[in-house]
Amino acid sequence: MTSQMTENKLSVIIRACRLVRRMLRADPEARRSQLMYYSMLEEYFARILRAKEEGGFLVGHTVFFPAEIIYAMGLVPMHTETATWTMALFTGDCSDILASGARLGMAQEICTPHRGLTGAFASGALPHPDVMLWSNMVCDNTAKSGELIMEVCHCPGFLLDRPFKRSQHEIGYLVSELEDMICFLEERSGRKMDWDKLSEIVARMDRQIELVRQINELRKNVPTPFRPQGFLELLTVDYLFPGQPEALEYLETLHQELTEAVREGRGAVKPERFRLMTFFIPPMYLMGFLDRMSRQFGAVSVIEPFFTYWGEGRLEASRPLESVAMKSYMIPEMRMYGPLDERALNAIVQCVDDYKVDGAIYYADVGCRHSCATIKLFKDILAEKGVPTLVVDCDVVDSTVTPEDEVREKLEQFFELLEER
Amino acid sequence: MANVQDSGLSMLERFREVNRTFPRNRELVEWRDRGGKVFGWLCTYVPEEVIHAAGVLPIRIVGYSQETDLDDGNAYMYVNNCSFSRSCLQLGLRGEYDFLDGVVGGSTCDGARRLFDLWRQYVRTPFHHVLTVPRKYTDRAHMLYHCEVLEFKQHLEEYLGLKITEEALYHSILLYNESRELLRKLYDLRKQEKPPISGAETMEVLNASFRMPKEVFNQWLADLLDEASRSERKSSGRVRLMLVGSVLTNADFVRFIEDQGGMVVTDELCTSTRYWGDPVVLDSGLSLTEAISRRYLNNFPCARMFPSEERFDRIIQAALGFRVDGVVSQTIRYCVPYAHDLPLLEKRLRECGIPMLALDIEYGTSGSGQIKTRVQAFIEMLEAKRR
Ligand code: SF4
Ligand code: SF4
């Protein structure tokens, strides 16, 4: 029964990826990078299925976790929150896994990616990992998620404790945490860390970050060449394929496509009317709808300061572990963890100017406390720059929270307001 | 006064007066009139001794003592953050903490760290500092936290233009340890079959402890202990309870539970046991700042710490030590660290034969009809079990 359900949920994702690829092949306007993206996704989830079937070692891990280490050891990573989002994206309904989380006694306060995730493990909708890794990047939900998962999946686990600030002693602590984690993985999996491979991965990751920076440079153009919600692809590629050859291939292809579009003056939406800044993740089950709305109104997300706007710094292949630690300070989302000081806040101001932003949309996820607590602050900063912010109350995964009509109405009013300005 | 016979304990009045008049309580006003600085701290992982040794009075920032509309808190922090952090922020935004010269926080939970962020932006207390608090107890984690304590000490010295001497630190450690020892004695009284002081009254004492100089507090508490140990007062509660969960400062909520026939004899709250729990151990091998940082990281843990088993073990130890019949857990809505622990804690307690009642509340609540019914049913169940 359990393995049957497991089959089903992952198979649903895999089948959906195949379907999207078929549709894209039939669409003359589809980009080659889009096709690549969906085959990468398909392969990612197929590999998880195969790992269970063929005796591979499956490592569950939470968001922003340095999966470079898992790849370098030849183990199979499973990004747990992305698995939940992807289920929401492709099935549109996560009520079963959320109900399963509730049966475990998980309170409503726990964000749906995590309630759904543990629920998915409990109901067998996701395969049980051999070990669970989690960290306090970027919130209490990630920090507190691991122990119940260990209990539900009967597997051992490791919490990677990422310090809050970035002094030398804190970075040193993180490196020692990574060392401990590698020992833990070696012990549990019987595999050794391949340091050469980690160096190669770090070198590719550095290139990956550079490519995202270059892609963002292209997005500054008017009209902007990248799809309205295309940034989700950039996120997912970073989450699932850090330092992997397929990620580079995808980003290089995308970069080429966007360069060409810029050269030809082709915008992602025609005509481009509103250049938006996006905060947090739009509800997955509304992605198709949001895409249609964006095209209808000529609205496009040109920058996401806390998702695609990488911090300064380079990774060094000769210092792989230190680089993995440093990366956790460069990840755009990690500006939300750590003191919200000028360094974090200036990114917003800089983006408004550089990307010629007309308005901002903040997807206020009801379960995501630490991000929602920044809404007023970000809104005030943007207002000072003359940029209005629309706040859309929603939930990334739970489709019962905000109906499509409500979002439509809010967006229409917001676009009207932008138009008047 | 709950279910304790109402005679005696005149000393309690002093503590109540502090709570009633805070922040205009005499002890605080006199301190400031003498030119003394006051720093507010946001979470129990902030080492008070270091602030005290700098000649500054540390007080705890808490929210409204009663449930209230949190319009400003909601506007600035959004409704999905815990009502404790929203309540604190609202008081800050409305100028109630304008007398503070500094605010110190820790990276403890999302609510606390965002409270610090927004306080810094909108309340603009002159000095602010946030400490990284590791989530583990490993040697490296202790080294990291010690570095954090040293960095904080240095920041204070720079800001205040003074040197925090070893003598001053030593004196502060002794003073705070004395408070802890006195509070431990207060809790020991509650191990009695019919304690002379209720859970609600104990909370009133603790609330005052955050709001006045420890020098005076210790004297008052010694007086209270003397009075309580000689008094004939006896609690008439029918079952012994332990309170666990999110931050709680409203003594009326405890009183409300005691009014239903429970005796709250112990707790694991960060405003109670987790505040005074362990002393700073002065070990010849450790520097004073190391001794302080060890105490704070090893103290009775918050739900944020890993592994949670440490917290569960301490809860069970206390539950057995105080011979409780049941545990009442109260989780403030959107208090994620405690919400996450609930299924595992419930299981651990069940394995030990200790029933648990889990309540969802808002910070500052004094109880409501629905909670009353559930508490009554729980107490009745425990009574039946006892028979
Ligand atoms: S939705 Fe928010 S609270 Fe949940 S895991 Fe993501 S960042 Fe954390
Ligand atoms: S522990 Fe809970 S109640 Fe306390 S500040 Fe954090 S989230 Fe709020």
Please give the ipTM for the structure prediction.
Answer: 0.95
Label residue B1 by pLDDT band (50, 70, 90): very low
**Considering only CB atoms, which chain B residues are within 8 Å of A377?**
76, 117-118, 121
pLDDT at position B2 is 47
Interchain contact, A161 vs B110, CB within 8 Å: no
Interchain contact, B340 vs A110, CB within 8 Å: yes
pLDDT tens per residue across span A237-281: 999 999 999 999 999 999 999 999 999 999 999 999 999 999 999
Q: Which residues, in sequence order, are bridge partners of residue A180?
A: none
**CA pair distance B185, A176, nearest whole angstrom:** 41
Tokens encoding A214: 């270059």
Tokens encoding A57: 């070692």
Q: How many domains does chain A have?
A: 2
Interchain contact, A173 vs B116, CB within 8 Å: no
Tokens encoding B296: 């704070």
Share of chain A above pLDDT 90, in %: 86
A42 C-beta closer than 6 A to ligand 1: no
Which position has the higher pLDDT, A334 or B288?
Answer: B288
**CA pair distance A105, B340, nearest whole angstrom:** 9
Label residue B116 by pLDDT band (50, 70, 90): very high
pLDDT at position A343 is 82
Q: Are A17 and A55 part of one and the same domain?
A: yes
In A, what residues contact B, Cβ < 8 A? Answer: 104-107, 109-110, 136, 139-141, 143-145, 147-148, 151, 159, 161, 163-165, 167, 169-170, 173, 176-177, 180, 339-340, 364, 366-370, 372-377
Query: Which of the listed residues A156, A172, A192 is the one where a domain comes to its end?
Result: A192
Query: Which of the listed residues A192, A218, A248 is the one where a domain comes to its end?
Result: A192
Q: Which ligand is nearest to the CA of A81?
A: 1
Q: Are A21 and A46 part of one and the same domain?
A: yes
Query: Which of the listed residues A192, A218, A239 is the one where a domain comes to its end?
Result: A192
pLDDT at position A1 is 35
In 3D space, the residue among A262, A42, A372, A293 whose CA is nearest the CA of residue B82 turns out to be A372
Label residue B369 by pLDDT band (50, 70, 90): confident
CATH no. for residue A39? 3.40.50.11890
A348-384 per-residue burial string, b: 16 or more CB within 10 A, e: under 16: bbebbeebebbbbbbbbbbbbbbbbbbbbbbbebbee
**CA pair distance A359, A382, nearest whole angstrom:** 9
Q: Are A178 and A277 part of one and the same domain?
A: no
Interchain contact, B107 vs A164, CB within 8 Å: yes
Q: Are A236 and A98 part of one and the same domain?
A: no
* Average pLDDT for A35-64: 95
Q: Are A165 and A252 part of one and the same domain?
A: no
- If one counts every other C-beta atom within 10 angstroms of the C-beta of residue A192, the result is 11
Asked whether the predicted pLDDT for residue A289 surpasses 80, the reply is yes
Q: Are A173 and A101 part of one and the same domain?
A: yes
Q: Are A260 and A128 part of one and the same domain?
A: no
In 3D space, the residue among B376, B300, B364 whose CA is nearest the CA of residue B68 turns out to be B364
pLDDT tens per residue across span A314-344: 999 999 999 999 999 999 999 888 999 888 8
Label residue A210 by pLDDT band (50, 70, 90): very high
- Ligand 2 mean position to B86 CA, how many Å? 10
Query: Comparing B3-7, B127-131, B260-264, which segment has the lowest mean pLDDT?
Result: B3-7
* Average pLDDT for B288-308: 98
pLDDT at position A284 is 85
Label residue A213 by pLDDT band (50, 70, 90): very high
Long-range contacts of B153-160 (CB under 8 A, 24+ apart): B153/B50, B153/B289, B155/B129, B156/B50, B156/B51, B156/B54, B156/B56, B156/B129, B157/B54, B159/B102, B159/B127, B160/B37, B160/B54, B160/B55, B160/B56
Torsion angle (degrees, nearest 10) of CA B244, B249, B252, B253: -30
pTM, 2 dp:
0.95
The residue type found at A90 is F
Interchain contact, A109 vs B333, CB within 8 Å: yes
Most informative mutation of B70, B335, B360 for ligand 2 (most atoms within 8 A of CB): B335
A139 C-beta closer than 6 A to ligand 1: yes
The residue segments making up the domain with residue A409 are 196-420
Average pLDDT in chain A: 94
In sign, the C-alpha dihedral spanning A406, A407, A409, A410 is positive
pLDDT at position B5 is 53
Q: Which ligand 1 atom sits nearest the alpha carbon of residue A139?
A: 8
For residue B334, the chain A residue with the least C-alpha distance is A109
pLDDT at position B284 is 79
Label residue A7 by pLDDT band (50, 70, 90): low
pLDDT at position B28 is 96
Label residue A4 by pLDDT band (50, 70, 90): very low
Q: Are A360 and A402 part of one and the same domain?
A: yes
